[in-house]
Structure 1
Amino acid sequence: MENQCLPKKAPGFCSFRYGLAIFLHFCNIVIMAQRVCLNLTMVAMVNSTEPPHLHNGSTLETLDDLKGTVSTGQHGVWVKWAPPLERGRLTSMTLSGFSMGPFIVLLVSGFICDLLGWPMVFYIFGIIGCVLSLSWFLLFYDDPKDHPYMSTSEKDYITSSLNQQVDLPRQSLPIKAMLKSLPLWAIIVNNFAFIWCNSFLVTYTPTFISTVIHVNIRENGLLSSLSYLFAYICGMVAGQLSDFFLSRKIFSVLTVRKLFTTLGIFCPVIFIMCLLYLSFDFYSTIIFLIFANSMLSFSFGGCLINALDIAPRYYGLIKAVSSLFGMTGGLISSTMAGLILNQDPENAWHIIFFLMAGINVASLTFYLLFAKGEIQDWAKETENTRL
């Protein structure tokens, strides 16, 4: 029924909107490169007599904030650029750059530090970022209707598919109902836990490897990068499996969301505990660290897209609010970990990992109790959503 108003020939993969998704994919790679390269170069910057965990905390916090701002802004882009039936593919293609970025930068930064010196890492990724920024200003338009380089057929396809949503009756924002919605809070709380955990692991994996395994900067970069390669794979698998379960009607939407949220939030806790108590040699430590990092990406098929299930009408707003809470978690996580490492180096990793485990378990419990898989009453497109 929805497709009756759409053009008969809709441009496919070789289209401007998919090109935009790929471009944003590379932007996210560079954003994470600029974020993560600092974590590895910290190991090279410090004096050999200094503890390797000392760093400029304000710089990390600023970069965390910028990463969250860009992520939130990209969800706003797809509100006008992504047809409803393609939003999952386009957003997953875009956000996967956040997993691929750390893999690439950690893979090459160790060699750059070793061969050219650590300042060259910032010059190289900084120049790439400037080029992409300039390209963004030249190629991107807020509304596809205004873009001079797009085909008319693609413009018609995007605008006609979105007109069905835009033409719906305007409704006041049900703020009170949203504040009382436990399924919405379940999403927000688990976004907080996800970004808390991810921010710490992104920031301190090179430091952990340096202080616990004692490897050189080149090996550190190679070992740290493996976690993000597996995270990229896990994220892609999560997206494919969740769609498979739903399309074949093997599980309900709620079951799928709870399954992948459990895998993404609880499995890292298991491997973190294994890292503390069952890692007796180099290989076991690396394996547990890789799994602790990579299993987080299963959340892509769970709580991180659950807002589309319960309130597609307010998806952009919910993602913005979730990202705001998540950024707060990321800032607190990085800052608190740095303070703990400075004040109690001997027991620091145990304290940090147990704190992370407690937050993950509490958030997951809340999600399993209150998450929903259907559109909530306050988000339905009816005349009775006004409070």
Structure 2
Amino acid sequence: MTSHIEESPIINSDIEHDVTSSRRNLVEDEFVEETTGWIKCRTVLGIMGFLGFAVVYAMRVNLSVAIVAMVNSTTPQTNSSLDVCPAPIPTNTSTPTRPGDFNWSVQQQGIVLGSFFYGYVLTQVPGGRIAELCGGKLVYGLGIFFTAVFTILSPIAAYTDFSFFIAVRALAGLSEGVTYPAMHAMLAKWIPPLERSKFAAYVYAGSNIGTVITLPISGWLCTLEFAGGWPLCFYIFGGLGIVWFIGWLFFVYDSPQKHPRICPKEIEYITRSIGPAQEDKPAMSIPWCKFLTCVPLWAILIAQCGQAWVFYTQFTELPSYMNNILHFDIVSNARLSALPYLTAWIGGILLCIFADWLLAKGWISRLNSMKLWNTVSAFVPAFGLLGIAWAGCDRVSVMLLLSLTSAFGGAAYAGNQMNHIDLSPQFAGTMYGITNAASNICGFLAPYVVGHIINADQQTLGQWREVFYLAAAIDLGTNLFYLFFASTEEQDWSRPDNDDMTASAPVESILFPES
């Protein structure tokens, strides 16, 4: 799709002057803003959003560890001569293993691990649209609040009935499904274009930190005798979600224009960078047919599906792999499972800072930047999985590969994750809801497929290699589609007045037109 801006002879003739003056104005505006006030209001949004994702992922990931303690017999080892890793010789100092409370098969465990996503995918699009129309504050906040309530109810449901437990986990997913699209809608209103990759890395990295903290704590809680051990994973993190919700109500607002304590310099800077407030623009109905025929949107959706398959294969199945194949005890299992998320957090922030720096220097166009970092976030983890498939029983190599490759997975924040806002700031939340719903189908599809690849009676290295090969192939293939069809041009149907494109174009579209 060719940009109207690029076709303008006025802009083409004066592009060097526009780039220089625009950059100078942005730097001057940012300098003025930095000298006013103690802390910027969008920084508060970032901190609270970060903590929100940390809490919400704590409530999501705890089951991956708790299920190891919940299930009475995960994998009976019947024949040590098969393609399996030798179990370590137990010592007198080993932590005694308490029998689990439930006799669930491997297929049932796959259903349990995927049940959260049955509801999660249903509220993505409604959550994004409601956030666009009514503001993201309550949508995001209430989503986490009700996730916390259902998390607290999870142990009670598990003891009551298997189906009831599945329903409660699905309701928790239904509540959490609004969080990502709601936050995306808020970022479209709050964050200037040249800060988006870096800011998104900070906010969404809360999911990695929540996982890093939760996995070892959950492993330790499962060893306690108090309250049965594993139910504490749900009670404690659910309680933290309710506490966070109270703080969110007091400190965050839907848009800069609605914030009662925002510095005038900050609101002026945001308005000049983004454009008029969304409330000041004409209301537009959702162009569903345009969404269906928008190839760049399909490129984002397919890329996210590939990365989600890799993520959820690791997210839901890694603790089971480390328990049944590498034979880590539950405490070591939980601690080591957290390492890839720690490196993903650090790597994601550093890579996105570097990506924004390259954009600010004008050394790469926004489109090429997104394609580059999306490729990094797909290729490195995919080849890392192939390495893990052949590392076999070498525990050190497996953990090093997981940790190193996960560091590059965070580059997705500078890749496709913020691409929706480029295509249509008006409908960024709705579009993110569509792509996130599609990608999170992998949240229950990946465990389901893994459950059918893995033999219930005897897990082997060969079976797990098939799991890793499949994930790598999907990730690499979907990235190729993104490379061919991605775009950063605002779509014609995004604007209420298509003839006024030059006047309303985002600053970065002028600074870095597609080549």
What is the TM-score normalised by the length of structure 2? 0.66
Q: Could you tell me how far apart the structure 2 residues matched to 1:127 and 1:247 are?
A: 42
Superimposed CA distance per residue, residues 80-99 of structure 1 (whole angstroms, 9 cap, x where no aligned partner): 44455654444332111011
Instruction: Report if aligned partners of 1:60, 1:334 keep a CA contact under 8 Å in 2.
Output: no
After TM superposition, give the deviation of residue 299 of structure 1 in Å.
Answer: 1.2
Match in the other structure for 2:124 = none
Secondary structure of the structure 1 residue equivalent to 2:401: helix
Q: 2:212 aligns with which of 90, 103, 109?
A: 103
Tell me whether 1:305 sits opposite 2:418 in the alignment. yes
Q: Could you tell me how far apart the structure 2 residues matched to 1:226 and 1:58 are?
A: 23
Q: Could you tell me how far apart the structure 2 residues matched to 1:297 and 1:226 are?
A: 14
After TM superposition, give the deviation of residue 329 of structure 1 in Å.
Answer: 2.6
Match in the other structure for 1:60 = 116
After TM superposition, give the deviation of residue 216 of structure 1 in Å.
Answer: 0.8
Match in the other structure for 1:289 = 402
Tell me whether 1:120 sits opposite 2:235 in the alignment. no
Q: Percent of aligned positions with the same letter in both sequences?
A: 29
Q: 1:153 aligns with which of 241, 250, 264?
A: 264
After TM superposition, give the deviation of residue 137 of structure 1 in Å.
Answer: 3.6
Q: Could you tell me how far apart the structure 2 residues matched to 1:274 and 1:383 are?
A: 50
Instruction: Report if aligned partners of 1:261, 1:301 keep a CA contact under 8 Å in 2.
Output: yes
Q: Could you tell me how far apart the structure 1 residues matched to 2:59 and 2:173 are?
A: 11
The one-letter code matched in structure 2 to 1:120 is L
After TM superposition, give the deviation of residue 214 of structure 1 in Å.
Answer: 0.2
After TM superposition, give the deviation of residue 235 of structure 1 in Å.
Answer: 0.7
Q: Could you tell me how far apart the structure 1 residues matched to 2:354 and 2:464 are?
A: 34
Match in the other structure for 1:383 = 498
The one-letter code matched in structure 1 to 2:237 is F
When the two structures are aligned, how many residues end up with a matched partner?
385
Instruction: Report if aligned partners of 2:425, 2:494 keep a CA contact under 8 Å in 1.
Output: yes
Tell me whether 1:45 sits opposite 2:62 in the alignment. no
Secondary structure of the structure 1 residue equivalent to 2:328: coil
Q: Could you tell me how far apart the structure 2 residues matched to 1:13 and 1:348 are?
A: 56
The one-letter code matched in structure 2 to 1:265 is A
Q: Could you tell me how far apart the structure 2 residues matched to 1:320 and 1:301 are?
A: 18
The one-letter code matched in structure 2 to 1:316 is G
After TM superposition, give the deviation of residue 169 of structure 1 in Å.
Answer: 6.0
The one-letter code matched in structure 2 to 1:26 is L
Larger radius of gyration: 2
Match in the other structure for 1:353 = 468
Match in the other structure for 2:130 = none
Match in the other structure for 2:359 = 246
After TM superposition, give the deviation of residue 310 of structure 1 in Å.
Answer: 3.7
Match in the other structure for 2:45 = 20
Superimposed CA distance per residue, residues 97-135 of structure 1 (whole angstroms, 9 cap, x where no aligned partner): 011111111132222223452222222212111111233
Match in the other structure for 1:367 = 482
Q: Could you tell me how far apart the structure 1 residues matched to 2:483 and 2:197 are?
A: 23
After TM superposition, give the deviation of residue 375 of structure 1 in Å.
Answer: 3.6
After TM superposition, give the deviation of residue 366 of structure 1 in Å.
Answer: 0.9
Instruction: Rate the CA distance shift 1:269–1:156 in 2: closer, same or farther, 3 A.
Output: closer
The one-letter code matched in structure 2 to 1:99 is N
Tell me whether 1:218 sits opposite 2:274 in the alignment. no
Superimposed CA distance per residue, residues 349-369 of structure 1 (whole angstroms, 9 cap, x where no aligned partner): 233223222321221121122
Instruction: Report if aligned partners of 1:145, 1:155 keep a CA contact under 8 Å in 2.
Output: no
Tell me whether 1:73 sits opposite 2:182 in the alignment. yes
Give the alignment of 1:318-333 within 5 angstroms: 318-333=431-446
Instruction: Report if aligned partners of 2:336, 2:399 keep a CA contact under 8 Å in 1.
Output: yes
Match in the other structure for 2:10 = none
The range that moved more, 255-264 or 278-287, is 278-287
Q: Could you tell me how far apart the structure 1 residues matched to 2:391 and 2:337 are?
A: 20
Q: Could you tell me how far apart the structure 2 residues matched to 1:281 and 1:336 are?
A: 25
Instruction: Rate the CA distance shift 1:317–1:13 in 2: closer, same or farther, 3 A.
Output: farther
Superimposed CA distance per residue, residues 203-236 of structure 1 (whole angstroms, 9 cap, x where no aligned partner): 1111111111101111111110111111001111
Instruction: Report if aligned partners of 2:209, 2:341 keep a CA contact under 8 Å in 1.
Output: yes
After TM superposition, give the deviation of residue 254 of structure 1 in Å.
Answer: 2.6
Is there any run of 5+ residues in structure 2 with no aligned partner, and where? Answer: 1-21, 77-104, 118-169, 502-515
Instruction: Report if aligned partners of 1:28, 1:101 keep a CA contact under 8 Å in 2.
Output: yes
Q: Could you tell me how far apart the structure 2 residues matched to 1:176 and 1:109 are?
A: 45
Q: Could you tell me how far apart the structure 2 residues matched to 1:58 and 1:249 are?
A: 43
Q: Could you tell me how far apart the structure 2 residues matched to 1:295 and 1:205 are?
A: 18
Is there any run of 5+ residues in structure 1 with no aligned partner, and where? Answer: none
The one-letter code matched in structure 2 to 1:30 is V
Instruction: Rate the CA distance shift 1:269–1:31 in 2: closer, same or farther, 3 A.
Output: same
RMSD of aligned residue pairs (Cα, Å): 3.3
Q: Could you tell me how far apart the structure 2 residues matched to 1:381 and 1:343 are?
A: 56
Instruction: Rate the CA distance shift 1:6–1:174 in 2: closer, same or farther, 3 A.
Output: farther
Instruction: Report if aligned partners of 1:209, 1:215 keep a CA contact under 8 Å in 2.
Output: yes
Give the alignment of 1:126-145 within 5 angstroms: 126-145=238-257
Instruction: Rate the CA distance shift 1:178–1:12 in 2: closer, same or farther, 3 A.
Output: farther
Superimposed CA distance per residue, residues 168-216 of structure 1 (whole angstroms, 9 cap, x where no aligned partner): 5666655444432322211111112222221221111111111111011
Secondary structure of the structure 1 residue equivalent to 2:487: coil
Give the alignment of 1:256-295 within 5 angstroms: 256-295=369-408
Q: Could you tell me how far apart the structure 1 residues matched to 2:423 and 2:255 are?
A: 26
